[in-house]
Amino acid sequence: MFRLLIVDDEEYITDGLYEVISGLDEPELDVCKAYSASEALEWLGRTRIDIVLTDIRMPDMDGLELFERIKAHWPRCRTIFLTGYPEFGYVYHAIQSPGVSYLLKTEGYDKLIAKITETVRELDESLRMTDLQQRSQELEEKLESHLHGDYFRDLLTGKVPITNLAFEFEEMGLQLDPDKPILMTICQILDTDVDSLHAARKDSLSSVCYLTDSFLSDQLRSTCVTDWRGNLVWFIQPLRLDEEYTDKEPIEIGRFVQGTLELIQKACTESLGLSVAFAINESMRPWEELVSCYERLQQLLWLQIGDGVSMIVTDHSDDEEGDPRPFSQDRTPIQKAELLIGYLESGRKPQFEALLEQWEQELLAANVDSMQALESYYAITLALLSHINRWRPTNIKIEFGRLIRFDDHATRSEAMAYAKETARMLFMARHTEERRRAGDIIDRVQAYIEDHLSGDLSLVRLSELVHFNPAYLSRLFKQECGVNLSTYIEDIRLRKAKDLLERGEDKIHEVGALVGYETAHSFTRFFKKAIGVTPQEFRKALSKK
């Protein structure tokens, strides 16, 4: 939503322009008005202004001085100077600035409306310009790295499917091939002080990432991200993706990377003063095995590291004589609990129920022993309790003892049934609370409008009242009431005006002032546009009846 401010010391001009521009078919344009430059400055200090339509000559401050103040407050704001007579020389310097234009009041509404529409379109297009992200190569790289990190972290935890890899990689400009296997390696910095500053830990991660990439980049292409544990994860493929893989090439790449990691460890110790450990796949794996490969590598790091010695451990997942301890091909209970919490917090009920249903089937399977069932059940209840403690839902009855004591239930099915019932109540309570809060907000806005028809009922003022963003309040009101907020205000003003005119106790201009119109001319134009007759004609018709 863009915000336009009209500034003119002649009230009838300001009101006239306000009515015309407010009536445009521009739902994303919020129109405000000021009767002086000083009042305009109050608006500029109060909210973002995107377009200022201002007179040039005003008694307290001329338009050029106001223009300089506008640039100081909102540099991207567009300014349209409006004057009653030609004075091109007076504004010549100002119109050399980008985003400034000049109109004569005698040119009429059509040209003014065309200029406003054009300016709104330019503002809208400017938000889509890619050069906003290209001002700095460093900023672009940081942004891409952040987006890539979010995406790959979701891939590693199974939050997003791997079915759309080709599209996602193309959209993000990744050089990895979604149709070819990858080699994954995880790096853990061993001697980082957990109490050290975030900036220091970030510098260490960046240094190790840069150093490793410099060793690998001549032979391989890779993408590096940090996972939620703060470890570095590389996804590695051959540099020549256009060539077919040979039977030996995947193993050779694995050996090359393993050998290179030894050099990287040495370089990290000597150049950075850091001890690092790596876990790596022995061979390249298909993308479909991404989650299970990641979990195995994480477990290897956790199992093997304990003495602070730098090491490289390899996942021999294809070796039948390897480590006999099984690695789960599914998410761990803690990872599933994190997903449940995310779905619950964001109100994604279908996803929550689907995951819980799948988890229940696994928990009730005959081959799941009591300890595994206990771990799964408490992971589920942990997710539910986390949400309850954060949001403190009211008007629902939860038996916490029954929820948290697994052994109090006769069967696993009974325990899961109560956990599912608790989840159902939480979603219902969330929905009820959201509806109640939305209703309270709308009631408060409507009550304020009824009591302040003669005051400031701008979208900015109403949003300040309820501490909402103006654009969000506008959408919420339309969603809850079925009409635009501006239309609702006009309807209330019209209803109130009819009532006052019928009583006959106030003069026409007094009725106009009571419903928010500063001048009788503005009120008459509004009233006639709404019902087809002037206020005077309406009152006469009532008196005849």
Residue-wise pLDDT tens digits, 259-287: 788 888 888 887 788 888 888 988 889 99
Average pLDDT over residues 494-504: 92
Q: Higher model confidence: residue 198 or residue 117?
A: 117
| pLDDT above 60 for 192 | no
| pLDDT above 50 for 530 | yes
CA distance 82 to 8: 9
| pLDDT above 90 for 534 | yes
pLDDT of residue 133: 41
Sheet holding 276-281, edge to edge: 220-226, 232-238, 183-189, 276-281, 312-315
Average pLDDT over residues 344-363: 85
* Lowest-confidence segment of 231-245, 278-292, 484-498 by average pLDDT: 231-245
pLDDT of residue 329: 43
Confidence of residue 368 (pLDDT cuts 50, 70, 90): confident
According to DSSP, residue 107 is labeled: G
Q: Higher model confidence: residue 105 or residue 14?
A: 14
CATH homologous superfamily, domain 139-315: Reverse transcriptase/Diguanylate cyclase domain (3.30.70.270)
CATH T-level topology, domain 452-544: Arc Repressor Mutant, subunit A (1.10.10)
pLDDT of residue 147: 65
pLDDT of residue 28: 78
pLDDT of residue 153: 86
Please give the CATH architecture assigned to the domain spanning 2-128.
Answer: 3-Layer(aba) Sandwich (3.40)
* Residue-averaged pLDDT of the chain: 81
Average pLDDT over residues 109-138: 69
349-363 vs 412-451: helix crossing angle, rounded to 10: 170
pLDDT of residue 255: 76
Q: Residue 101, Cα to own-chain centre: how many angstroms?
A: 34
CA distance 17 to 150: 47
| pLDDT above 80 for 331 | no
Contact 77, 99 (CB under 8 A): yes
* Most confident option among 218-227, 315-324, 347-356, 446-455: 446-455
Q: Higher model confidence: residue 6 or residue 251?
A: 6
Share of the chain above pLDDT 90, in %: 20
pLDDT of residue 193: 52
Share of the chain above pLDDT 70, in %: 85
pLDDT of residue 130: 39
Average pLDDT over residues 324-330: 41
- For the record, the structure tokens of 439 come out as 């209703």
Contact 161, 289 (CB under 8 A): no
Task: Give, in degrees to the nearest 5, the angle at Cα 269 between 268 and 271.
Answer: 65
* Lowest-confidence segment of 100-109, 173-182, 492-501 by average pLDDT: 100-109
Q: Higher model confidence: residue 305 or residue 324?
A: 305
pLDDT of residue 248: 43
pLDDT of residue 384: 92
The identity of residue 110, as a single letter, is: D
Taking phi over 0 as left and psi of -120 to 50 as alpha, with beta for the rest, 273 belongs to left
Beta strands in 183-311 (DSSP E): 183-189, 220-226, 232-238, 276-281
pLDDT of residue 108: 82
pLDDT of residue 302: 66
| Torsion angle of the four alpha carbons 284, 287, 290, 293, in this order, in degrees rounded to the nearest 10 | -20
| pLDDT above 50 for 137 | no
Task: Give, in degrees to the nearest 5, the angle at Cα 319 between 318 and 322.
Answer: 130
| pLDDT above 60 for 21 | yes
CA distance 318 to 505: 93
Beta strands in 204-294 (DSSP E): 220-226, 232-238, 276-281
Location of each CATH 3.40.50.2300 domain in the chain: 2-128
Q: How are beta strands 276-281 and 312-315 bridged, if at all?
A: parallel
pLDDT of residue 308: 46
Location of each CATH 1.10.10.60 domain in the chain: 452-544
Confidence of residue 493 (pLDDT cuts 50, 70, 90): very high
Of 272, 282, 153, 164, which Cα lies nearest the Cα of 224?
153
| pLDDT above 50 for 320 | no
pLDDT of residue 12: 82
| Torsion angle of the four alpha carbons 479, 17, 114, 118, in this order, in degrees rounded to the nearest 10 | -60
| pLDDT above 50 for 136 | no
* Lowest-confidence segment of 66-70, 344-348, 377-381, 409-413 by average pLDDT: 344-348
